[in-house]
């Protein structure tokens, strides 16, 4: 039984890719082909079907956990906290007290 051979153009239409894409699939070994002469490639419908089945991704059985997570804590606002400003003033008061005692 002689099978109908498809050209790269036919396969590109079936797969909705460019002819260049069909040749790249052949070079990478992902799509089988029949070499007619030194450069020309032909394909059987079975070869294309095997490629399609190999590339088909089935949906995962489990659902992805999409529960909301707690957001990360945000950084403090620019300019610092009020506590830091009191620390600065306390440090300034301490310096003044040391200067006063050393005199």
pLDDT by residue, tens only, the chain of 103 residues:
777 899 999 999 999 999 999 999 999 999 999 999 888 999 999 999 999 999 998 877 777 677 777 777 766 666 655 555 555 567 778 888 888 888 7
Residue 79 has which token pair? 């300019």
User: Helix axis angle, 45-55 relative to 8-15, nearest 10°?
Assistant: 30
Q: Rounded to an integer, what distance in angstroms lies between the CA atom of residue 39 and that of residue 51?
A: 21
């Amino acid at each position: 039984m002689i099978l109908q051979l498809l050209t790269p153009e036919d396969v590109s239409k079936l797969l909705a890719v460019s002819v260049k894409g069909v040749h790249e699939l052949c070079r990478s070994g992902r799509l089988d082909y029949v070499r007619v002469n030194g450069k020309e490639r032909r394909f059987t419908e079975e070869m294309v079907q095997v490629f399609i089945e190999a590339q088909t991704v089935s949906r995962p059985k489990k659902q992805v956990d999409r529960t909301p997570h707690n957001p990360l804590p945000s950084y403090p606002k620019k300019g610092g906290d009020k506590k830091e400003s009191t620390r600065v003033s306390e440090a300034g008061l301490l310096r003044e007290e040391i200067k006063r005692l050393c005199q």
